[in-house]
Each structure stands twice: as structure tokens, then as C-alpha cells.
A and B are shown apart, each in its own frame.
Chain A
Amino acid sequence: MVQQEKQCLIEANNLKPKVKLYQYLLSLGKTEVFLIELNTHFSPIELGSRIGVLIEEGFISVDWKKKLITIESLTLKTALKKKDIIGEYNREIPEYMKGEKIEINKPYIDN
């Protein structure tokens, strides 16, 4: 294991829970953050889950080769609008649920 990796070993039980990812990213005051910089605040599953939501809403993008998060520049207006979108928690219908709809117990076959 290289020295760089030894330095970033973390223990899951030392993680600080319930840190909001976007707020934390903004608090760093940078436009780009390496994934590994977040390892003291988020376990892999916590970070992976939260990144997904922020990518979908356009707050961040991730270069998986460089392992680098880019915080998208937003005007106050667009940022507030996006905050509203997240706040609404509107669930989109996934593609697999857009199949043919049939009324329950409406006979499909005429006997």
C-alpha cells in the first residue's frame, strides 16, 4: 500500500454522521473537491447515495476517472429554484414503470 493511502485510512465508527453533503461542499469554499477529501465525514455508502441526488439535480458533476467532484456555479436565483425542486421530493416515474396500464379487475378477455 502506498504512503498516500496509508494516510487516508479511516474507521467507519469515527465518521461524523448527518452532515449534509452540499452544505459541506460549499463550506469548503472550493469549486473542485476530490472524493477522498470527504472520507472523514461520509462513509462510502453515505457519499455514494448523496452524490447521486446532487448529480441528478445539477448541483455537482463527478469525473470518476479523476475522482473529482465539481461544484456547478449557480446564480442565487437558480440555486434557490433547485433547492425548491429538492424540497418538493417529487418522485419521477422510472422508465420500467411506464408500461401498459390495465384497470384492476377489468376483464381483459371476453369469455
Chain B
Amino acid sequence: MDAKRKYSQFDYEHLVELYSKNDWLRFETNHEGLEDLWFDYKKKSDKLIIKNLINNFNYLSQEEAELIVRDKLIECIRKWDLKPTNTLFIGFREHKFPDGSSILLNFFKAIMTGIDYNWKEYNFLPDFDYGMGRIKDDGFTSWGLTLEKIVLVDDFVGTGGSAIKKIIKIKNTITANKKNIDLTMFSLATMLGGKMKVARNADIEFISPIILKKGTTIAYALSKRKTKKESLKKMESILFRGSKNLLLKTHSLGYGKSESLYSWNRFNIPNNNYPIFWWHRYLDGSTRKTMFNRSQ
């Protein structure tokens, strides 16, 4: 926190309320980030929008995630008849760098070992293409795993676009190899719009313990949503316009206009969240300390 930070009466009272009602904001990094965001704006109406969004933010701690995931995995095991000898959990990673699905799969690995020690490392494959490669070879038969079930895994489904592409790709591979494999999907958190899009475009059983609505839908009455969205777009005017590969306008109100209010801890927040929470440069290109981290 800036030691010389000055709080007006308005700032003081509203920040106290935010800290009192949202205990996750009290963590060191989170409260510094919040106050930097708060003081990025001068207008009271803008600050009240920030307050309202934060009060409706879904901040998932590691402890909460562990219990939610464990309970849902038990449900999946029962419902889909998953066994260590017939199942592969396959992540969404398509490049050599770590992504959200790899983190979640690592999490799965520890939790599943707690449920049944017969689940092994080779049941959890973060690399999508490598996982697809196991379809042709029927899993890992030499290790006693004959592939009958695939669960696609991602940490977050926003618009649903990536999920649909992956589902179609893997279905085509199953068909091309003439295999009889049940395909299902698990996502830790999913935007309601994305879930509906997946349901419309891909015939797949899809479980997600956290379903999220758009920020302005949760935080405001219908009559106010349009003006609040306009205000949020104006609030993005302090941010750098972006480069060819990462344009602010494609992330206005969150990628695909998702308006997410969700983060699993504070690292690598989905780009479907409002960019005021994570865009790391100001309009003039200077560095901006953000409330949440996201590799850009």
C-alpha cells in the first residue's frame, strides 16, 4: 500500500465496508491491488461500480476449490462409472507452457489419490494432443489401462468456443479410430452462456460445480445494466489499447463480453473478467499494478 495514500471520507467508509464484507480482500496482495484499482478512478460513480462488482466477485480459495472438486469428482465417478483401469482425464493444454487445465489436473491427481490410491499419474494427461494420441493406442494397456472413458478437463469455460473445438476434435478422432469411448467434460467454473453454448453445439455430458452469470446481471437490476456497461467501457479508457496480438477492444467487458467476476486465488485470472481487474498497462504504456495477475 502507498504509505502516503489519502482517503477521503467517501473512500474510507466504502473501503471499510468492502473489507468487512469480503474477507478475501484482507490478504496482503489483494488489498493492495484493490486500493490501487480504487484510486485509479476519481469519480464516485466509478468507485461505486467497483464496489458493487467486488461485492459480487467469486473468489475461490485453494481450500474451497479442494472440497468442491472432491465432492464433484465423487459424483462424476459414480455417474460416469470412472475407474483407474478405464479412464483418462485429458487437459486443454495445446502448447508447451502451463495453463489452467494443467493446474487443475495436478490438483485432481492429489485429490483422486485420496479417494482411491489406484488412480495413478498416467490417468491425468495435461497435454491435449498427447491425450488424443492415446485414443489410437487404447490408453496405456501395458500399465493395465484400457481406454473406455475420457473426461476432458478445463479450469474455466468462458464463451465455450475453445471447449466446443476440443470436443469436436476429440470426437472426430474417436470416430476415425473406430473406438467405443465415452466422452464427458469437467470444468471447475463455467459462464452460464458458455455452458448453454456447449450444450447447443456439442452433445456431451458436462459437469461444472460453479456456474457464473455476467457481472452486471448479478450486480444490477435490468433497468440499470445498459448504463452500467457503458460506464464500465468508459472506465477502460485509462487502459493501454493493446498490441496486435492482444487488443483491449477484444477484451472489453472481458473476452467475448463475458463479464466474469471469478478467480481461483489471484493468479492467472481468466481473460473473461473485466479488464480493469487485470490489464497491466495504462493508456500511455506505463506499467499498472493490477488487482489480479494474468500473464500477458
Contact = CB atoms under 8 A, between A and B. Distances in A.
Contacts of B2: 12
B43 to A, nearest CB: 12
A90 interface: no
Contact of B116 (A44, A48, A107): A107
> Size class of B's contact patch?
35 or more
Contacts of B18: 44, 48
A97 B19 contact: no
A96 B64 contact: yes
A44 B115 CA distance: 43
Interface stretch (B6-14, B158-166, B271-279, B288-296): B6-14
B83 A111 contact: yes
Contact of B70 (A36, A39, A99): A99
Interface stretch (A2-10, A25-33, A80-88): A2-10
A64 B16 CA distance: 10
A58 interface: no
Contact of A12 (B5, B10, B83): B5
A23 interface: no
B57 to A, nearest CB: 16
Interface string A1-22: 1001110111111000000000
A39 B16 CA distance: 10
A100 to B, nearest CB: 6
B6 A10 contact: yes
A81 B151 CA distance: 53
A97 B12 contact: no
A12 B3 contact: yes
Contact of A39 (B12, B35, B115, B118): B12
A35 B13 contact: yes
A102 interface: yes
Contacts of A99: 67-68, 70-71
B4 A5 contact: no
A44 B13 CA distance: 8
B118 A109 contact: yes
B216 interface: no
Contact of B17 (A48, A102, A105): A48
Nearest to B6: A9
A1 B10 CA distance: 10
A107 B117 contact: yes
A102 B70 CA distance: 10
B114 interface: yes
A82 B3 CA distance: 35
Contact of B114 (A11, A45, A48, A104): A104
The 7 tightest CB contacts between A and B, nearest first, are A48-B19, A44-B15, A48-B20, A13-B3, A5-B8, A5-B9, A48-B16
Given A10-B7, A99-B71, 16 more contacts: A8-B12, A11-B3, A11-B5, A12-B4, A35-B16, A39-B12, A48-B15, A48-B18, A96-B67, A96-B68, A97-B67, A99-B67, A100-B71, A108-B115, A109-B77, A111-B118
Interface of A: 1, 4-6, 8-13, 35-36, 39, 43-45, 47-49, 51-52, 55, 62, 64, 67, 96-97, 99-100, 102, 104-105, 107-109, 111
Interface of B: 1-13, 15-21, 23, 25-26, 31, 35, 63-64, 67-68, 70-71, 74, 77, 83-85, 113-118
